[in-house]
Amino acid sequence: MFSRFGGGIHPPEHKSITEELKFVNLPIPHTCYIPLQQHVGAPAKLAVKAGDIVSEGQLIGRADGMISANVHSSIPGKVADIAVVPTVYGPQQSVIVEAEGTFSSSAMPHETRDWTALAREELLDRIREAGIVGLGGAAFPSAVKLSPPPGKRIDTLVVNGAECEPYLTVDDMLMKTFPDAVIEGTRILMRALGAANAVIGIESNKGAAIVSLKKSIAAPGIPDGIRVKKLATRYPQGAEKQLIYSLLRRRVPSGGLPMDVGVVVHNVGTVHAVREAVLYNRPLYTRYITVSGNAIERPGNYKVRIGMKIADIVEECGGFREPPVRIVMGGPMCGQSVHSLDVPVVKGTSGLLFLAGKGVAAREYSPCIRCGACVSVCPAGLLPCDLGNAVEKGRIDLAEDLNPFDCIMCGSCSYVCPAHRPLSHFIKLAQQKIRAARK
């Protein structure tokens, strides 16, 4: 038996489209549209003005406040404009950089550092300076996550290599391509947290990644305390609370955080980016993504510049085989529908899906038939049907009693509902209304 949590679903994986395709660097775009808010928290404060010449990796937005993140230029060139542009998070003030000059050096030196000689605070400074955020999609500033309040002792780092969303293979390819780097990044994060243990959770459908990481761990000089654990292939295995339970049998309390049970979780992509920041002083201005779906000509795993427009990525991937009915940033379960190709890739973009064919478009929904399917798959133990019915009737008071804030927005309930009820959407609406009423 593999480790798993209660509930969940196993939708068609669709990973075979890209799982064997090695990373390809996409050509540099002529223009990057770099939003100042690509992370949870306050937007970064503008650090350049129109007409400025910027280097690749130069700071263009400075973190503003406790929860925020630095933003860097993805290409060398000229700041053509500071303007509000459409993004997956809505219209955002952005720095528009037109490429010119050379790519031979970043604004920061690329010397390799012996990180084992760096103090914890120095590690955190490097991670903060580099603007690292959670690359699994949450985009929470990593340095903040690595700084638990006094009194919270972290004994275990969980590295999330589950990649449970259908279609996405970017984390799988990262673990297969750079296993030693992932293990080194894990060690850096253990040191930054003062955690003696790390467990890397990977779903059973990524056998080659499991083998690669186990081999890296067995190399001379790797300290004890790092384990790789095979997980059941079951969505949403990669959700923090479910992952912690599957790996450690610790339950994060309702309304609580992983740190309440001595754990901090980081995605493998984040771990890789942290190593790049600490060893090479490299800010987060590129990222790896999966481009997939039946509507794109050349699906694959690509390295792209942050701020590159989806339209430019589509062009580099050979255009469309057929017009997509649905475009998603992220995975099909938790990702966000995108309605324009003019939206840029941001730090939290793990994938771009271009889907066509039957069953892709949103369907009409009908009343609940009380079949109970949504209840049996909910990994948070909620009653999605009752929550949905309460919201539909405008009874937010009833919804509030059903713990809507325990919902992790995994979409499993909506996926199985035979009446096609948009249950997670209803629950999000309940959360928004309750928050507004509490203000």
Pairwise CA distance, residues 396 & 398, whole Å: 5
Quick one: which of 119, 196, 371, 437 contacts ligand SF4 (CB under 6 A)? 371
Nearer to ligand SF4 among residue 284 and residue 413 (C-beta):
413
Min dist. Cβ of residue 368 to ligand SF4 (A): 3
Site string for ligand SF4, 167-186 (x = CB under 6 A): --------------------
Nearer to ligand SF4 among residue 6 and residue 319 (C-beta):
6
By CB under 6 A, tell whether 430 contacts ligand SF4: no
Site string for ligand SF4, 379-398 (x = CB under 6 A): xx-x-xx--x----------
CA nearest neighbour of 228 among 268, 201, 265: 201
Site string for ligand SF4, 340-369 (x = CB under 6 A): ----------------------------xx
Quick one: which of 32, 417, 429, 430 contacts ligand SF4 (CB under 6 A)? 417
Quick one: which of 120, 152, 215, 370 contacts ligand SF4 (CB under 6 A)? 370
Residues 6+ apart with CB under 8 A from 117: none
Pairwise CA distance, residues 387 & 309, whole Å: 37
Pairwise CA distance, residues 210 & 203, whole Å: 9
What residue has token string 């985009």?
139
Are 292 and 266 within 8 A, CB to CB? no
Quick one: which of 88, 133, 188, 378 contacts ligand SF4 (CB under 6 A)? 378
The stretch among 63-71, 97-105, 159-167, 403-411 that binds ligand SF4 (CB under 6 A) is 403-411
CA nearest neighbour of 31 among 54, 62, 59: 54
Tell me the β-bridge partners of 301.
290
By CB under 6 A, tell whether 411 contacts ligand SF4: yes
Quick one: which of 6, 223, 357, 372 contacts ligand SF4 (CB under 6 A)? 372
Query: CA-based diameter of the chain, in Å?
Result: 63
By CB under 6 A, the count of residues binding ligand SF4 is 30
User: Any idea what DSSP says for residue 77?
Assistant: E
221: buried, middle or exposed (CB in 10 Å: 19+, 13-18, 0-12)? exposed
What residue has token string 């009752």?
386
Please provide residue 78's backbone torsions phi and psi, each rounded to the nearest 5 degrees.
-115, 135
Min dist. Cβ of residue 401 to ligand SF4 (A): 15
The stretch among 46-54, 169-177, 268-276, 376-384 that binds ligand SF4 (CB under 6 A) is 376-384
By CB under 6 A, tell whether 413 contacts ligand SF4: yes
Quick one: which of 95, 352, 427, 429 contacts ligand SF4 (CB under 6 A)? 427
Pairwise CA distance, residues 385 & 376, whole Å: 11
Pairwise CA distance, residues 30 & 74, whole Å: 11
Q: Which residues bind ligand SF4 (CB under 6 A)?
A: 368-374, 377-380, 382, 384-385, 388, 407-413, 416-419, 421, 423-424, 427
